[in-house]
Every structure is written in structure tokens, then in C-alpha cells.
Chains A and B, each alone.
Chain A
Amino acid sequence: MDQPQGQQALNKTTASVLVWGFRVSAALLVLGLVVSAIQGEELHTSLESIPDLMGEIADGNGSGLVGLAILVMMATPIASTLSVAISSIRLGDRRYAAITAGVLGILIVSATISAT
């Protein structure tokens, strides 16, 4: 029952996805706060839809970047779940690949309903 190599690789890949999600979110957050401070701009009291946020970022607004940072943080556990599903398939673990796909499906349906 010691952690087999495949399991260790699964843990390592999942950890990497989480670390990179955090780094991207933190970088966007810092950049957004700096830009907002320079522009003297208030942060949103209600996070806008993704197309509106993209429009704000295109206009160079810092609050759009802050909103995107929050969304990237929210998306990171979804990305890690996707990574677990892919790794489980590669390891030939069909049962847990299906279970992970089920969790991912629930998360994606929830996120899609929210985004629309």
C-alpha cells in the first residue's frame, strides 16, 4: 500500500497545477491593484460577467484585472480536478477517472450556469 510511482506522479502534477493557478492569480491581483491605485479607480462591489471583465481589461482598467484574478483563483481547483482525471486515465485507473469526471462535470455545469 506504499504510494506507487504513478500515485506520486499524480500528486506532483496536481500540486503543480495548484501552484501555477495561485501564481497567475496572485500576479493578476497585484497588477490589477497597482493599476487601480494609479488610476484612482474603485474595485467592483459586484463582480461582472466574463465578457464585461475582458472589455475592462482591454480598456486598461485595473478592476478588470482584479476580477480576472478572482476568477482564475476560482478556476484553479477545477483545473486540478481536470488534471487528476487526465492522470487517472493515463494510469489506467478507469473507476477513479470516471468518478473524477463526474465531479468535474458537476463543477463545470455549476460554473457554466453561473457564467450564463
Chain B
Amino acid sequence: MELWESIALGGSAALAAVLGSMLGLGGGVFLVPIFTLFFGIDPKVAIAASAISVITNSVVGSSNHLRNGFTNIRLAMLLGLTTVSGAIAGALLAVVANAGVLSFIFGLVLLAAAISMLVRRQAVVPNSEPGDPDPFRLGASFTDRATGAVVRYIPQRVPLGLGASALAGILSGLLGVGGGVIQVPMMNLLMRVPVKAAAGTSTFLVGMTAVATATVFYADGKIDATVVVPAMIGIFAGSQLGSSLTSRVKTANLVLIFVAIMLYLSISMILKAFGIELPIED
């Protein structure tokens, strides 16, 4: 690979991470479509690179979230049982799946993510009360620095959450995305976990999920250092920039623009599955 190609890959990964971190989605959801549509990289190599980038993002992001008390480790481990198992199953499916099928499924997931973002703009979910039953001993609290208030919560509907996590894991393994795009709204809307705790717990959880995915692709010889290294560096730099931009920019105002980008990528991936390429690809 030429130096300019590596720089372009790293720059694209940084852009994906800036977008992802501003939206709380991680970079993987943008990385695979950008690598496959604009650089012509094999989808399986792109998925493997994305999985390792997700691990990098998770390792860096989780250390900050853990210090802020946003990560509910018990919840992450409980959901990890089904998510990690699902990720291994998904990655094994991805190794044998047709590239067109992967593109099609990715397009559908992007479409669902775009719709989920529009829904999340409207959703205000009440947290559970401290007196609520906590049979799984998952209750936790954190201090919200924006308001100075201590937020206490008890995750609800745990069995449903475990099932949804298995689905998130399968999609994560199949597509190399972190799964945050599913985990954060699932924890928030279904389990009534506050958004900051859901994002912190998801960031930790997706690292474990992506390890399961990456090891399967490692065994299949799909980890290409010429793609992975620029992706890792770009994702790391982009997520740092995205985090600092998030505190300065009104993210809600950008959601519609990003939803439009996701819809474009979604349609491109679905069309690619049928051998149709949009004019500005490659």
C-alpha cells in the first residue's frame, strides 16, 4: 500500500471516529462502509480492521468512563455473557458469508441506526427509583458533572436486555461494529439506564465483544496490518478530537446532517449488494 493511501485511510478513520464519538455510536458503524465503498477494501478485511479499531476506542474511552463512575461493570459483565457469545457466532457467520450479503445486512443496520437516532432525539426515559426491586444487584449511581446531581438507577427488564444483547453481539461479530449503536438505545430505552451510564457501560462492553470478533478474523487471516494500523491511529486521533468537539458543539443540531450521511451510506451498501455503485464511490 502506498503512503498516501495509508494517510487517506487514517484520515477517513479519524473522520469516522469524530462523527461516531459526537453521536455516541463509536466509529465502526461508519468505518466499514467508508473502507469498502471508497477504498475498495474487501468487506471482511474492513470488518476485521473495524473490530480492532473498536477495541482501541473502547480501551481509551473506558478508562475515562470508569474514572467518572459511568461504567456499571456488573451490568457489562452480565450482558457480556450473551453479547460475547453472540459476537463469536456472528463472526463465524461473517467468515463464511457472501460479501454481498454482508453489505446488504450492513445497509439495513445503518438504516435502523439512522431511525434510532431520530427516535432518540425525542425520547425522554424516566429512570427507575432507588426503592425499586433489584434482584440482579445491578443498581448503581454516578455524579452528573453537568448538573452536580447524583443519579441513582436500577436497570430494569434484565432478561429482555440479555436477549437484545445477544442480537447486538451477533450483529457486532457479523459486521465488525462495536454494537454501541444497538446497546446504548437498548440499555436506555428498554432497561431504563441513564444515557451517560449506558454509554459508559456500552463502551466497556463493546471492547470485549470486538475481541471475540477480532480473534475469529485473526484465525481466518483477515487482519491486514496495512489497513489496521492507519485505522487504529485514525480512530484514536478522531475520537479524541470528537470528544473535545462534543462539549463545544450542540450535537442535537448535527443529528439530522449525520442521519442524512448514514442514509446515504445505508443505500450505497444495499445497492452494492446488488452490484450497483453510486457515482462518487471508489
Please classify the interface of chain A as helix (H, G, I), strand (E, B), loop, or mixed, using the class held by over half of its residues.
helix
The answer to whether A47 touches B207 (Cβ under 8 A) is no
Q: Which of B104-112, B134-142, B269-277 contacts A (4 or more CB under 8 A)?
A: B134-142
Residues on A with C-beta less than 8 A from B152 are 1-2
Known interface pairs A70-B223, A111-B215, A114-B215. Does A103 touch B73 (Cβ–Cβ under 8 Å)?
no
Secondary structure of the B side of the interface? helix
Q: How many residues of B contact A (CB 8 A)?
A: 50
Please count the residue pairs between chain A and chain B whose beta carbons lie under 8 angstroms apart in the complex: 148
Interface contact B52-A74, CB-CB below 8 Å: yes
Q: Which partner residue on chain A sits nearest B91 by CB separation?
A: A110
User: Please, which residues of chain B bring their CB within 8 A of the CB of A14?
Assistant: 62, 66, 73
Q: Which residue of B lies closest to A47 (CB)?
A: B223
User: For B218, what are the chain A residues with a Cβ–Cβ distance below 8 Å?
Assistant: 47, 74, 114
Binding site for A on B (CB under 8 A): 52, 55-56, 58-60, 62-63, 66-67, 69, 71, 73-74, 77-78, 80-81, 84-85, 88, 130, 137, 139-142, 150, 152, 154, 204, 207-208, 210-212, 214-216, 218-219, 221-226, 228-229, 232
Distance (Å) between the CB of B276 and the closest chain A CB? Answer: 29
Q: Is the CB of B208 within 8 A of A77?
A: yes
Task: Report A-chain residues with C-beta under 8 Å of the C-beta of B84.
Answer: 103, 106-107, 110
Contacts A74-B55, A103-B80, A107-B212 given; does A11 touch B66 at CB 8 Å = yes
Q: Which residue of A lies closest to B88 (CB)?
A: A110
Q: Closest residue of chain B to A87, judged by CB?
A: B73
Alpha-carbon distance between A111 and B73 when the two chains are bound, in angstroms: 22
Closest to B84 in A: A106
- On whether the beta carbons of B88 and A67 are closer than 8 Å, the reply is no
